[in-house]
Copies of this chain bind each other. A is one copy, B any other.
Amino acid sequence: MALSPAIRTVAIVGTGVIGRSWAAVFARAGCETRLFDVDPDQLPRARVWLDGQRKPDWGPIVACATVDAALDTAGYVQESGPERLDVKQQLFVDLDRAAPPSAILASSTSAFDMTEIARGLRHPERCIVAHPVNPPHVIPAVEVLGGIRTAVDVVDRTCDLLRAVGQTPVVLKKHVHGFILNRLQFALVREAIHLLQHDVADVEAIDAVVREGLGLRWALLGPFAVADTNKDDGVRAYFGGYEQWIIDLMNQLGPTPSLDGDLIERIGKALDGARGETSRAEVREWRDRMVVEIRRLKADNPVARVGERAQ
């Protein structure tokens, strides 16, 4: 990739599945990428995975024994530790102490408000949420959101860096539980489970209408842009013209289901059957390969720029 991020040295703190994927994002953009993990067993596993991914033009990847060594020269820190508020708060105390004064401290959290994580820190103004979609080295969207004391220029610099390393930052204006990506995802999943529980359709049928229907459009256009293309006169005619039908439909959507063991087992059995001899790891590898190809297809076909001035 022909990328040149202004920030040249990045630290990855927490090198599990998300952290190591972040390391690939920054190293392939040419950044010196320094890894630290409180669990000494994680680093070698991350190394093995990254060695399998790396290309000759990647920046150096350096495993560090201490958080201080990892952060010493970093301009940006991406934290991907366990999803527990007390753990994140303690980690951010360490990061705030060890990072150079100008460094941005970003968390991969999918759950917590940066106002809470950064409470009591000396420099909360440089702390920010940068929540990726699994896995970030394949899927570009990253939700970006500061806490109440985060500086505006930290939001801007984070977005600049993310764009420079090939991601698509999406800025949220305020904290909500689940941010926007998981709220949209679980709105659909909630209804999917509701339809399953009421025996309207099977697991395979529900997956198929998304994979062979809705998802083919949503890989190209978001939900509002889809509505805009559904009528010659666009979204005004669509939401205006079908308003009552849409309201009636929304009013009939199901409530939050119970995720009981029997239901989960029913879903698990159906997916096992559909997957057959193929392992989950093979499905993931295939998914990652296909997503890369779809992104290449979009990048090679410039009308794909339609609507891509997001955030």
Contact = CB atoms under 8 A, between A and B. Distances in A.
Interface stretch (A41-49, A51-59, A119-127, A234-242): A234-242
Contacts of A205: 170-172, 180, 310-311
A280 B213 contact: no
Contact of A247 (B217, B256, B264): B256
Contacts of A62: none
A250 interface: yes
Contacts of A85: none
B253 A190 contact: yes
B212 A139 contact: yes
> Interface residue tally of chain A, by bracket?
35 or more
B211 A220 contact: yes
Nearest to A290: B220
Given A181-B209, A188-B184, A219 B218 contact: yes
Contacts of A87: none
B183 A253 contact: yes
Ordered nearest first, which 8 A-B pairs have the shortest CB separation? A207-B222, A215-B218, A141-B213, A208-B310, A204-B310, A219-B219, A187-B191, A286-B303
